[in-house]
Amino acid sequence: MRINDTTPKQDGFHMPSELAEHKCTYLLWPERPDNWRNGAKPAQKAFRQVVEAIAKHEPVVLGVNQSQYSHVLGMNMKNVQVVEISNNDSWVRDTGATFVVNNNGDMRAIDWAFNGYGGLVNGIYFPWDLDDAIAAKMTAIENVDRYRLDDFVLEGGSIHSDGEGTILVTEETLLSEGRNPDKTKEEIEQILLEYLGAEKVLWVPKGIYMDEDTNGHVDNIVQFIAPGKVILAWEDNPEDPQHERSQMAYNYLMSETDAKGRHLEIVKLHVPNVVTITKEESEGIDSVEGTFPRNEGDRLPASYINYYNCNGAIILPLFNDPHDQAAVETLQQCFPDRVIETIPLAREILLGGGNIHCITQQVPKA
Mind telling me the catalytic residues? 358
Contact yes or no for 93/358 (Cβ under 8 A) = yes
Pairwise CA distance, residues 313 & 332, whole Å:
10
| Shortest distance in whole angstroms from residue 270 CB to a copy of itself | 41
Q: Which x/- pattern, by CB under 8 A, does the window 120-139 give for a copy of itself?
A: ----------x--x--xx--
- Looking only at the bridges linking them, the beta strands covering 107-113 and 98-101 are antiparallel
| Shortest distance in whole angstroms from residue 31 CB to a copy of itself | 15
Q: What does 131-146 look like in DSSP terms, one character per residue?
A: HHTHHHHHHHHHT-EE
- Strand, coil or helix: 210: coil
Interface with a copy of itself includes 84 (CB under 8 A)?
yes
Q: How many residues bind a copy of itself (CB under 8 A)?
A: 22
Pairwise CA distance, residues 92 & 131, whole Å:
9
Report which residue type is found at 246.
S
Interface with a copy of itself includes 86 (CB under 8 A)?
yes
| Shortest distance in whole angstroms from residue 83 CB to a copy of itself | 5
Residue 57 Cα distances to 7, 311, 339, 357, angstroms: 32, 6, 9, 16
Question: Closer to a copy of itself at the Cβ: 84 or 240?
Answer: 84
Contact yes or no for 210/176 (Cβ under 8 A) = no
- Please report, as residue ranges, which positions from 34 to 73 form the binding site for a copy of itself (by CB under 8 A): 59, 66, 69-70, 73
Interface with a copy of itself includes 6 (CB under 8 A)?
no
Among 52, 113, 126, 141, binds a copy of itself (CB under 8 A): 141
Question: Closer to a copy of itself at the Cβ: 40 or 144?
Answer: 144
Interface with a copy of itself includes 140 (CB under 8 A)?
yes
Question: Closer to a copy of itself at the Cβ: 133 or 266?
Answer: 133
Pairwise CA distance, residues 148 & 2, whole Å:
7
Pairwise CA distance, residues 184 & 187, whole Å:
5
Alpha-carbon 287 to chain mean position: 25
Question: Closer to a copy of itself at the Cβ: 69 or 335?
Answer: 69
Residue 229 Cα distances to 8, 106, 210, 338, angstroms: 25, 27, 26, 17
Question: Closer to a copy of itself at the Cβ: 82 or 230?
Answer: 82
Interface with a copy of itself includes 12 (CB under 8 A)?
no
Among 5, 76, 103, 105, binds a copy of itself (CB under 8 A): 76
Provide the binding-site residues for a copy of itself, judged by CB under 8 A.
1-2, 59, 66, 69-70, 73, 76, 78, 81-86, 130, 133, 136-137, 140-141, 143
